[in-house]
Amino acid sequence: MISAGCAAYGKREGLSARELFSEALDELFSNCPKLGRSDVRALYIGQAFESFEHQANTGPGLANGYGLANIPAVRVDSVSSSGGTSLRQGVLGILSGAYDLVICGGIEKMTTVDTLEAIEIISMAADRPFEQWNGATLTALNALAARVHMRRFGTTEEQMALVAVKNHDNALENPKAYLRKRITVQDVLASRAISSPLKLLDSSPICDGASCVALTRPELASSYTDTPIDILASAEASDSDLVFRDDFVSFKSTRAAVEQAFEMSAMTLGDIDFAELHDAFTINEIIAYEDVGFCKKGDGGKLIESGATKIGGSIPVNPSGGLKAKGHPVGSSGTGQAYEVFTQLNRSVAPSRQVKDSKVALIHSMGGAGVDAIVHILKARWL
């Protein structure tokens, strides 16, 4: 990975996804002056829903509209992990030998519609015959996981709230984050129930976003930058609908992708200096702690309580603010996580947000309630 760019998250009134993506591309090219538009051989673009902007086949318009003329430009969708899929397909494109240099991006312009319409669109992320028809939204499915987690392991609503508090704290000095506002456990507990036990402040916000990274073959990276980031592993696994699983509180897709990623990278848990984990809902981050292996199954609530996942803790999680506070523009969230890794390892974030001495990071993107998980492990080459 040789460069990255990201539009400011939020309700970006009057700006289309294409304009937001241009904002991200402008930053990507300015972060890497040696990279020219004609060096780019393909574009992968994560976009979950064509319904928000009434726009399918988004790739060619984004590419050719920015002067990345005539390159292959493909839209990929795995809903919340679409950005992770974009990154992974870019990695495979490079490994295949077809492309020397690709841009992997993600977009979602969600504020074109009101909240109820947005929820109707987002509900397409759930399975139609077995979940949607039975009234299960993504929030309801994650609430189910939360309820079982609470009952089985004694996890509390306060512990879940602490995830939101931490991620809001982290977002305070992230100038691109949408919700830069300190909140307390009491604020979370007092916010209205969306699907009990998940409340408004347990949930990531609907917003607009666009982000991108540039990848090249490892041996070409040094001709573009002195500070390339090596992608040591890219792994993915899927699973059946939540309701068909034996276990609601451990996501097999995450566990399988994590296992593959560690094997592929020859890294161990101890090598990971920080992680960006999928936190569309606070319970997701707690379950991800356990499935990635930062604590044993059931101890996620205690881990957040211990402070270990704060910046400055033993294993910082979501120093960006996460999807929870940065914002969750669905198709863009995965490449937004990669942007955070790029800026952290390049030491270009605010000092208060910097994970000190970090060299290796793990990214976890999840689509649906664990129906898809994508894990990347990245390492700064020069550190």
User: Based on CB atoms, which residue is closest to its own copies, 132 or 191?
Assistant: 132
- The answer to whether 76 and 219 have CB atoms below 8 angstroms apart is no
Tell me the window of 146-154, 175-183, 249-257, 308-316 that interacts with its own copies (CB under 8 A). 249-257
How far is residue 27's CA from residue 340's CA, in Å, rounded to a whole number?
A: 13
Stretch of residues binding its own copies (CB under 8 A), selected from 53-61, 195-203, 204-212, 280-288: 53-61
φ, ψ (nearest 5 deg) of residue 47: -150, 120
Of 264 and 267, CB closest to its own copies: 264
Which one among 27, 157, 208, 239 touches its own copies, defined by CB under 8 A? 239
CB nearer its own copies, residue 84 or residue 228: 84
From the list 172-180, 203-211, 217-225, 233-241, the region that binds its own copies by CB under 8 A is 233-241
Beta carbons of 368 and 138 less than 8 angstroms apart: yes
Q: Give how far Cα 273 sits from Cα of 268, 379, 380, Å.
A: 11, 10, 11
Alpha-carbon span 325 to 176, nearest angstrom: 10
* Residue 64 binding its own copies, by CB under 8 A: yes
The whole-angstrom separation of Cα 383 and Cα 201 is 37
78-86, 150-158, 200-208, 341-349 -> range binding its own copies (CB under 8 A): 78-86
Give the shortest CB-318-to-its own copies separation in angstroms.
23
Q: How many residues bind its own copies (CB under 8 A)?
A: 61
Q: Which two tokens stand for residue 266?
A: 């020859």
The C-alpha atoms of residue 84 and residue 44 are separated, in whole angstroms, by: 11
What single-letter DSSP state applies at residue 208? B
Candidates 100, 169, 187, 241: give the one binding its own copies (CB under 8 A). 241
Work out which of 4, 87, 237, 295 binds its own copies, going by CB under 8 A. 237
Question: CB count, 10 Å around CB of 200?
Answer: 14
Binding status of residue 63 toward its own copies by CB under 8 A? yes
In whole angstroms, how close is the CB of 338 to its own copies at the nearest point?
17
Q: Which residue has the tokens 């000190």?
A: 356
Selection from 257, 347, 330, 380 nearest residue 106 by Cα = 330
Q: Which listed residue (40, 79, 214, 280) binds its own copies by CB under 8 A? A: 79
Helix (H) or strand (E) holding 193: strand 193-195
State yes or no: residue 187 binds its own copies (CB under 8 A): no
- Specify the stretch interacting with its own copies by CB under 8 A; choose among 4-12, 125-133, 201-209, 314-322: 125-133
Distance CA 342, CA 313 (A): 20
Q: CA–CA separation, 364 vs 278, rounded Å?
A: 6
Q: Which is nearer to its own copies, 88 or 199 (CB)?
A: 88
Residue 123 contacts its own copies per CB under 8 A? yes
Q: Shortest gap between Cβ of 118 and its own copies (angstroms)?
A: 13
Q: Which of 33, 36, 65, 218 binds its own copies (CB under 8 A)?
A: 65
- For the segment 319-378, give every residue that binds its own copies (CB under 8 A): 367-368, 371-372
Strands 101-108, 209-216: pairing is antiparallel
Per-residue DSSP letter, 50: S
Residues that bind its own copies (CB under 8 A): 16, 18, 48-51, 53-61, 63-65, 69-79, 85, 88-89, 91-98, 123-125, 127-129, 132, 234, 236-241, 252-253, 256, 367-368, 371-372
